């Protein structure tokens, strides 16, 4: 069937995590019971697929839409994925407790699980409690041997850098960067469509089933970037209304921050879909055939062939596409 392109809004796939909480309820989602750490907002993965809530495709999964319209709706670059799926995975994370100390592999790592790819990602901090922090990279001079020794001696934290965070901070995390979100932050995450995480340390705590969660020491040591991993931090307070401020640029995604204050006329291109994440405020997205309301926490997939569209209202948004 032929359907005119329109902004797709999805029902999140929620994931219970030992470090999760209830903060995602603030966005008006029907959050299931339990310690919910992740909302997979736009997902086409074997471990979770999000489904459309609006328009003619309501009820269809992103995997179905990929099969039906991928080449045209996702764009010449956006439909070219190494694992045959949608190239990005968009999440909101509620870090009610510290996440494990972890690292992600790149696409070339021989130990990747079947069907998986590497994981380069970025975080945009939506909210942060006073004194909130994250683990972000290794201290200068740490190499494989010294980190392996620190792990063996139970003092891995001595090798890691702690960074204070506040709302609006952005962190680019290439594959190979040792990192961990810590308690008291809610973040938007844009990443390669991968669910592969190698844990170095998990505070000796039990998982949801009461047993310690698996660690992946050898894989972690293998994939860690010792020295400069390419990680970069940005304070985004300088974003101006009606202008895009580039936060992260990689081979997998480019993400910009925009401040909407009134009407802002924009356009998609045939190269790539556009993902819009509403970080705060509210407004609408208008296009030739309609209008959809947008509020904080909403994530939309704008097809590459949508063409002209307008953002209106008072809101802060992130725009991601495949470069």
**How is the chain split among helix, strand and coil, in percent rounded to 5?**
10, 45, 45
Do 8-235 and 244-321 show the same overall fold?
Answer: yes
Give the domain 8-235 fold. Answer: Jelly Rolls (2.60.120)
pLDDT digits (tens, 9 = 90+) for 258-300: 999 999 999 999 999 999 999 999 999 999 999 999 999 999 9
216 is in an annotated binding site: no
Please tell me whether residue 180 adopts helix, strand or coil conformation: strand
Spot the catalytic one: 199, 205, 213, 319: 199
pTM comes to: 0.97
Give the domain 244-321 fold. Answer: Jelly Rolls (2.60.120)
Delimit the domains of the chain by residue range. Answer: 8-235, 244-321
Instruction: State the DSSP code for 319.
Output: E
121 is in an annotated binding site: yes
pLDDT digits (tens, 9 = 90+) for 213-252: 999 999 999 999 998 899 999 888 888 999 999 999 999 9
Cα 102 from Cα 135, distance rounded (Å): 9
pLDDT, the chain, mean:
96
- The pLDDT score that the predictor gives to residue 1 is 55
Q: Do 104 and 223 meet the contact criterion of CB atoms below 8 Å apart?
A: yes
Instruction: Answer yes or no: 17 catalytic.
Output: no
End-to-end CA distance of the chain: 29
- The pLDDT score that the predictor gives to residue 255 is 98
DSSP 76-130: TTTT--TTSS-SEEEEEEEESSPPPEEE---TT-TTPPTT-----EEEEEEEE-T
């Amino acid at each position: 069937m032929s359907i005119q392109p329109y902004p797709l809004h999805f029902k999140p796939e929620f994931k219970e995590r030992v470090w999760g909480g209830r903060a995602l309820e603030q966005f008006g989602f029907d959050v299931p019971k339990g310690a919910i750490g992740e909302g997979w907002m736009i997902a086409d993965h074997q471990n979770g697929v999000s489904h459309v809530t609006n328009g003619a495709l309501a009820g269809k999964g992103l995997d179905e839409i990929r099969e039906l319209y991928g080449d045209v709706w996702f764009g010449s670059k956006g439909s070219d994925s190494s694992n045959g799926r949608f190239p990005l995975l968009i999440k909101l994370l509620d870090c009610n407790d510290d996440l494990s100390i972890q690292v992600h592999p790149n696409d070339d790592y021989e130990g990747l699980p079947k069907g998986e790819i590497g994981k380069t990602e970025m975080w945009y901090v939506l909210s942060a409690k006073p004194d909130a922090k994250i683990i972000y990279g290794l201290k200068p001079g740490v190499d494989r041997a010294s980190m392996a020794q620190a792990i063996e001696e139970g003092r891995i934290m001595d090798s890691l850098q702690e960074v204070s965070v506040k709302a609006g901070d952005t962190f680019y995390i290439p594959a190979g960067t040792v990192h961990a979100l810590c308690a008291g932050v809610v973040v938007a995450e844009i990443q390669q469509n991968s669910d592969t995480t190698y844990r170095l340390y998990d505070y000796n705590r039990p998982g949801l089933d009461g047993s310690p969660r698996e660690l992946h020491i050898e894989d972690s040591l293998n994939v860690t970037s010792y020295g400069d991993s390419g990680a970069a931090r940005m304070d985004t307070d300088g974003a101006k209304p009606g202008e895009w401020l580039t936060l992260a640029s990689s081979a997998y995604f480019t993400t910009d921050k925009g401040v909407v204050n009134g009407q802002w006329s924009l356009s998609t291109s045939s190269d790539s879909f556009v993902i819009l994440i509403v970080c705060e405020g509210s407004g609408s997205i208008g296009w030739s055939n309609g209008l959809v309301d947008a509020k904080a926490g909403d994530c939309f997939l704008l097809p590459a062939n949508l063409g002209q569209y307008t953002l209106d209202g008072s809101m802060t948004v992130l725009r991601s596409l495949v470069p």
